[in-house]
Amino acid sequence: MAGLAVAVTAAIACTAPAALPSDQSQTWASGRYLDGMIITFFLAGAVVLLRAGSRPILGCAFGTAVSFVVAAATVASYAGSSLPTSGFGSAFNFAEPAVLTQNWTQASVLLASAVTLGLLACWVALALAARRWRAVIPVFGAWVAAVSLVAVAQMTSQASQASTMQAQAVNVPVSASGVRPGEQVAVSSALGWQAWVPLAYQVSWTELQFFNPASQPPPAGVTVVEMPWPGGQPAQPAQPAQPAQASWPHAPAGWRVVAANQAGGWVLWRKA
């Protein structure tokens, strides 16, 4: 079973990045795809700490520490020595380092690693002490529970608090843009999922249709089209503003811009 658990973990770690964009090295270093294995290794580790002898515990702790240092060095060299943890996406990807460093803006790999090794040392010390004083066992359990509850509470709170301005920028107000129930809506294939997913929820009466505006006309029956802001990305403060009309330079006759948000990176067009 131990070998199977390790094999499954290694398979997840190696195959999960294949589904991610190649330009998101920080996301590749995220451990969230391995979160499903946490409980398996937690139970195994707890059994070792509570039932194994001192020498096996110290041996396992040493092996764990060495493997962890290698993993931390790999992350630092591949994704950087400091990882962003602000906003929903980063908080979701790097919640554990954020909790360990108590920094929800930028988490240091070195600090997160040091705190983790410190916690490991504490667990090992408590487990060894429990062999001499049974009264330590409830303290061990209470400490583990307290650390877990604090971590879960912080992760849930921070990851669920997406930036209000960003959320409002990406969100498409259907009523304000004039999209009416029953209308067919199409989306440019170049538009990022962050922009079109909120629209898909709001136009629940139909499925979004995707097309390439550079080589295709809007699908038949479509009266509303969502395009990416000119340039394909939300504008940065140092960049000059571009007119929303530039999002669809070859728009067919009769189409006009009815709503746009430069910060959110989208432009909504309507057929007259």
Q: Which of 141, 162, 183 is the last residue of a domain?
A: 162
Question: What is the domain extent for residue 235?
Answer: 168-271
Q: Please tell me whether residues 38 and 140 are part of one structural domain.
A: yes
Q: Please tell me whether residues 65 and 141 are part of one structural domain.
A: yes
pLDDT value at residue 23: 67
Q: Which of 162, 194, 226 is the last residue of a domain?
A: 162
Q: Please tell me whether residues 226 and 177 are part of one structural domain.
A: yes
pLDDT value at residue 272: 80
pLDDT value at residue 234: 44
Please, are residues 164 and 90 in contact by the beta-carbon 8 Å criterion?
A: no
Q: Please tell me whether residues 130 and 223 are part of one structural domain.
A: no
Full-model pTM: 0.62
Q: Please tell me whether residues 177 and 264 are part of one structural domain.
A: yes
Q: Please tell me whether residues 213 and 158 are part of one structural domain.
A: no
Please, are residues 172 and 268 in contact by the beta-carbon 8 Å criterion?
A: yes
pLDDT value at residue 266: 84
What's the rounded Cα separation, in Å, for the pair 199 and 170? 9
Give, for all 272 residues of the chain, the pLDDT tens digit: 778 888 988 888 888 777 776 666 666 677 778 888 888 888 888 888 888 889 999 999 999 999 999 989 988 888 888 888 776 566 677 888 889 999 888 889 999 999 999 999 998 998 889 888 888 888 888 888 898 899 888 888 776 665 544 555 555 556 555 677 888 899 999 888 777 887 888 888 888 999 999 889 999 999 999 999 887 544 444 444 458 889 998 899 999 998 888 877 888 899 88
Q: Please tell me whether residues 11 and 67 are part of one structural domain.
A: yes
Q: Please tell me whether residues 21 and 85 are part of one structural domain.
A: yes
Q: Which of 103, 134, 162 is the last residue of a domain?
A: 162
Q: Please tell me whether residues 150 and 63 are part of one structural domain.
A: yes
**Domain tally, the chain:** 2
pLDDT value at residue 238: 42
Q: Please tell me whether residues 257 and 193 are part of one structural domain.
A: yes
pLDDT value at residue 168: 53
Q: Which residues contact 36 (CB under 8 A, 6 or more apart)?
A: 12
Q: What's the gap between Cα 217 and its chain centre? A: 34
Q: Please tell me whether residues 143 and 186 are part of one structural domain.
A: no
Q: Please tell me whether residues 130 and 88 are part of one structural domain.
A: yes
